[in-house]
């Protein structure tokens, strides 16, 4: 991983107090700060860590995100740091047979922008440098412990006793958001699945039967495995996800390395060869929250994972946060118009919530269903495989609703796909036995997927 990029705490700039305070310096917070700075807003970002940085490995960004990067003038930099894979391929984790694929070059022709994979820290660094260039005030070692309403804005209180105010406060403080806990009060939801990750030199895996130019996901009973290249093809990203028996039994210490090895013991050679390469000193429990309809509380707005933390199966978590900031900034521009002075913040917040809540609810719900679909066993696994093999490769009904342009108003949100019932699959033919069949759409990993095909 790239080292964190230090940005020392500084005094506020001479330009005056901020128009917007953003709590959280992750991808969602920084991308939103940059989007607002492009609209002439004075933005202050408060990050609790001593340095700005991201932990993790690969991340996938679909056309609905690369479209925004292009508008921001950041797409070329992302291309230099990332990889443009050729295909998205889904395989059965037990026998390795192909279930479905998506030609990502054709996908780019359809949506006008590429599908890209990039190291999470590289994408974070792109937004950090953009914020530095645009004059965003970036403060580290700032732990926010409380949020309050004021007559004309909002106030945050910090661990050191200091308080700060602004017309608007955006809480982009992640899955375990302090603002979410205070304003909504709900709890995280465990899926009982856990993810292991690793990014290794490409030479480490070349003898393992990997597809260097594709994003590949192997779906198996209660597990799946993801592979794709990073950093110009010099590195290879792998993600192993499985259901934890210890979690199901209610144990606190769950998702441990012994469970990792047991979960993939019956998978195909390529997957089994990848398991010993996984980082074993850390793992990520797969958590989300139930969707909520209210993200705006007075002049405090939830954004990114604080508002809509998804399971990772659709690769839309970071993208939704980037979209949130873009939509918010677009409504700032609409409400500012040619009039002097501040935008109508209440109208901005209402418009942001009106369009983003339903879209993100759809993604969160579909991600849960998609995860269930990937991990089927027995006859249902065969039915899923049959349906996926039979899909027309030119059918984009399952991606148009999410990969198209980001809606700014509720009436711009496209209709969702129509799920295909598992019971419609006819087993007993060549496809059910694993013989070649027409290609169809697949997902692409723990941080991936194009939508739910079957139910």
Q: Looking at the annotation, which residues are catalytic?
A: 228
The C-alpha torsion from 368 through 374 and 375 to 381, rounded to 10°, is 130
Residue 102 CA to residue 90 CA, distance in Å, equals 9
Q: Residues with Cβ < 8 Å from 324, sequence gap 6 or more?
A: 28, 32, 303, 304, 307, 352, 356
3-state helix, strand, coil in the chain (%, to 5): 35, 25, 40
Q: What's the N-to-C CA distance of the chain in angstroms?
A: 38
Contact 197, 238 (CB under 8 A): yes
CA 92, 97, 98 angle in degrees (round to 5)? 90
Q: Residues with Cβ < 8 Å from 219, sequence gap 6 or more?
A: 90, 91, 92, 93, 99, 374, 375, 443
| Location of structure tokens 């940005």 | 7
Residue 205 CA to residue 270 CA, distance in Å, equals 9
Consecutive H or E run containing 270: helix 269-274
Residue 154 burial (CB count, 10 A): 24
Q: Residues with Cβ < 8 Å from 28, sequence gap 6 or more?
A: 172, 303, 304, 305, 318, 321, 322, 324, 325
| Location of structure tokens 């993600």 | 239
Residue 298 CA to residue 353 CA, distance in Å, equals 12
Q: Name the token pair of 70.
A: 């292009």
Consecutive H or E run containing 88: strand 87-92
Contact 449, 367 (CB under 8 A): yes
Contact 425, 386 (CB under 8 A): yes
Q: Residues with Cβ < 8 Å from 31, sequence gap 6 or more?
A: 127, 321, 322, 325, 326
């Amino acid at each position: 991983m790239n080292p964190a990029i230090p940005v020392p705490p500084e005094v506020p700039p001479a330009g005056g107090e901020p128009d917007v305070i953003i709590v959280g310096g992750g991808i969602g917070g920084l991308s939103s700060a940059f989007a607002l700075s492009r609209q002439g807003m004075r933005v202050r970002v408060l990050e609790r860590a001593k340095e700005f940085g991201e932990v993790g490995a690969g991340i996938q960004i679909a056309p609905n995100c690369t479209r925004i990067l292009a508008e921001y003038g950041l797409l070329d930099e992302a291309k230099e740091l990332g990889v443009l894979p050729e295909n998205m391929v889904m395989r059965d984790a037990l026998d390795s047979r192909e279930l479905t694929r998506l030609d990502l070059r054709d996908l780019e022709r359809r949506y006008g922008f590429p599908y890209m994979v990039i190291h999470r820290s590289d994408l974070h660094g792109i937004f950090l440098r953009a914020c530095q260039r645009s004059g965003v005030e970036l403060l580290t070692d700032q732990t926010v412990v409380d949020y309050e309403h004021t007559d004309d804005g909002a106030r945050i209180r910090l661990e050191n006793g200091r308080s700060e105010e602004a017309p608007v406060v955006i809480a982009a403080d992640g899955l375990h958001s302090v603002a979410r806990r205070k304003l909504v009060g709900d709890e995280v939801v465990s899926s009982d699945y856990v993810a292991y990750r690793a990014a290794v030199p490409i030479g480490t895996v070349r003898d393992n039967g990997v597809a260097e130019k594709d994003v590949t996901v192997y779906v198996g009973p209660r597990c799946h495995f993801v592979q794709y290249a990073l950093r110009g093809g010099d590195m290879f990203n792998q993600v192993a996800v499985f259901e934890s028996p210890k979690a199901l039994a209610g144990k606190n210490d769950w998702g441990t390395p012994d469970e990792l090895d047991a979960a993939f013991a019956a998978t195909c050679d390529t997957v089994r060869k990848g398991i010993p390469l996984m980082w074993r000193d850390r793992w990520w429990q797969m958590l989300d929250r139930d969707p909520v309809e209210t993200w705006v509380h007075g002049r405090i707005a939830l954004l990114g994972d604080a508002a809509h933390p998804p399971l990772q199966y659709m690769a839309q978590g970071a993208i939704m946060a980037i979209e949130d900031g873009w939509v918010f900034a677009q409504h700032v521009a609409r409400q500012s118009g040619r009039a002097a002075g501040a935008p109508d913040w209440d109208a901005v917040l209402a418009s942001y919530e009106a369009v983003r809540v339903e879209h993100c609810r759809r993604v969160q719900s579909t991600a849960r269903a998609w995860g269930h679909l990937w991990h089927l066993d027995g006859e249902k696994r065969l039915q899923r495989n049959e349906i996926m093999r039979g899909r027309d490769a030119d059918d984009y009904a399952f991606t148009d609703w999410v990969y198209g342009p980001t809606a700014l108003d509720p009436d711009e949100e496209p209709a969702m796909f129509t799920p295909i019932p598992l019971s419609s699959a006819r087993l007993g033919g060549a496809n059910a036995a694993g013989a070649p069949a027409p290609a169809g759409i697949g997902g692409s990993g723990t941080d991936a997927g194009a939508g739910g095909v079957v139910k």
